[in-house]
Amino acid sequence: MQLMKNKTFAVWLTFFGGPLGLHRFYLKGFTDPLGWLLPVPTALGWYGVQRALELGQDDVTSWVLIPLLGFNIAGCALNAIVYGLMSMEQWNSKFNQDAENPSGRTSWLTIFGVATALLMGTTVLMASIVFSFQRYFENQIEQAKAISQVPEVTKP
């Protein structure tokens, strides 16, 4: 007997536990390979945050790692929105055997979960993009300054 998957619970689990793959395990079981892969960019992103806190913002490795966390969180928020906006028939046909199962209904908690995922996912996505571009362009400016300050060799 298969347990019925509740859409509201799945939306909130995707939003809060998505970067760890918890929603994939809830919906598809522990054999889902993507569920086991999702924690990897999350852990790398957290490692980037720790490096930035310890070594400062000039650490190039943290520039690469931190956006992994942000893009992973934003992707899971998008997934929560998709789950929340599925019709009851779509949800039940994909995750439940009974097409009229009430666990596929949309409630106010589902709508609040979708709105929260939209708000936080957009914020994290934009912050990740801005952080990436800012660090990249600051690095380019520093390199250009280093090149322009090379002393000229005078001919005798």
Q: CA separation (Å) from 96 to 4, 28, 80, 113? A: 6, 11, 17, 20
The token pair at 130 is 């801005």
Map out the domains of the chain as residue ranges: 7-148
The one-letter amino acid code at 67 reads: P
Q: CA separation (Å) from 5 to 74, 77, 83, 96, 146? A: 23, 19, 12, 6, 58
pLDDT at 39: 95
Going by C-beta distance under 8 Å and a sequence separation of 6 or more, which residues neighbour residue 74?
A: 121, 122, 124, 125, 128
pLDDT at 153: 64
pTM above 0.85, yes or no: no
Closest C-alpha among 110, 100, 89 to residue 10: 110
pLDDT at 142: 84
Torsion of CA 145, 136, 120, 7, to 10 degrees: 180
pLDDT at 107: 83
Averages of pLDDT over runs of 10 residues in the chain (156 residues) are 82 94 92 93 94 86 90 95 91 82 80 94 93 86 81 64
